[in-house]
Structures are given as C-alpha cells and as structure tokens.
Amino acid sequence: MAGQNLGKSTVTKADIVENVYQKIGFSKKEASELVELCFDTLKHVLQNGDKVKISGFGNFVVRGKNERIGRNPQTGEQIKISARRVLTFRPSQVLKAMLNGEEYEHLKDDDDDDDDYGDDE
C-alpha cells in the first residue's frame, strides 16, 4: 500500500484486499477471504480477552475498567459509569520509529513491556 493511497486519509478493508490481490497474486475472492480470516481471528482472540502481538507493528490488549462515578459534562450531574472492557493499542518501537522517519532496522522489537497495561484504570 506504500504510495498506493497517497493523499487518502482512510484505508479501508477493501484497500487491504486490493493490496493483497496485487502483491500476492491471489484472486480477489481469495484475497478477500484471507483478509476476512485475519480480522475474524483477531476479533475472536480479543473477544476471549487474549493479547494480540504483531511483531514490528504493536500489541492489542483488552483491559478491564472498573465501575466509577463520572459527570455529565452538559449538566454537571454525577452519573455511574458501568464496568466495561476497552481495547488498547500500543505501537512497537519499530512502528513508532517508522512514523517519525527514524532509523528502525536496528531496533529490537520490544513489545513485551506491558507496564502500561493495568487492569483497572
């Protein structure tokens, strides 16, 4: 996709399918099925509460948030915010370096440091 969607602010699943189709040589149907399978796998793993680590890209982690008291910003009224699960993404050092135009080939992919992934924020 490098350069393929230059100037486009959003890349869609269809864009990813098109890229797989062009780069790998699969049929469009096969490319679509492959991309769909990848996303379905990620969704299933995350739904189970497991972490997804993609080397050179980053980590997706489902975190638990405790119930808490918040405030309605329009009325100032206190409201109860229910306990819930949220999805967080932490980019790898390699991805961060790439985004900032820095050298990244020498970086170790240190995605295992989970210090910032507490369970009850």
pLDDT tens digits, residue range 86-120?
Answer: 999 999 999 999 999 888 777 665 554 544 544 44
Percent of the chain with pLDDT over 70: 80
Mean pLDDT, the chain, integer: 87
CB 90 within 8 A of CB 59: yes
Q: Which of the two residues, 106 and 84, has the higher pLDDT score?
A: 84
User: What pLDDT score was predicted for residue 84?
Assistant: 97
Burial of 63 (0-12, 13-18, 19+ CB in 10 A): middle
User: What pLDDT score was predicted for residue 115?
Assistant: 47
Beta-strand (E) ranges in 1-121? 52-54, 58-65, 68-71, 78-81, 84-91
Distance in angstroms (rounded) separating the CA atoms of residues 104 and 53: 18
User: What pLDDT score was predicted for residue 36?
Assistant: 98
User: What pLDDT score was predicted for residue 17?
Assistant: 95
User: What pLDDT score was predicted for residue 56?
Assistant: 93
User: What pLDDT score was predicted for residue 120?
Assistant: 47
CB 65 within 8 A of CB 56: no
Report DSSP state, residue 25. -
Domains present along the chain, CATH in parentheses:
1-48 (4.10.520.10), 49-121 (4.10.520.10)
* Residues 10-38, mean pLDDT to the nearest whole number: 95
Question: How far, rounded to the nearest angstrom, does the alpha carbon of residue 114 sit from its chain's CA centroid?
Answer: 15
Distance in angstroms (rounded) separating the CA atoms of residues 28 and 31: 5
Distance in angstroms (rounded) separating the CA atoms of residues 103 and 31: 32
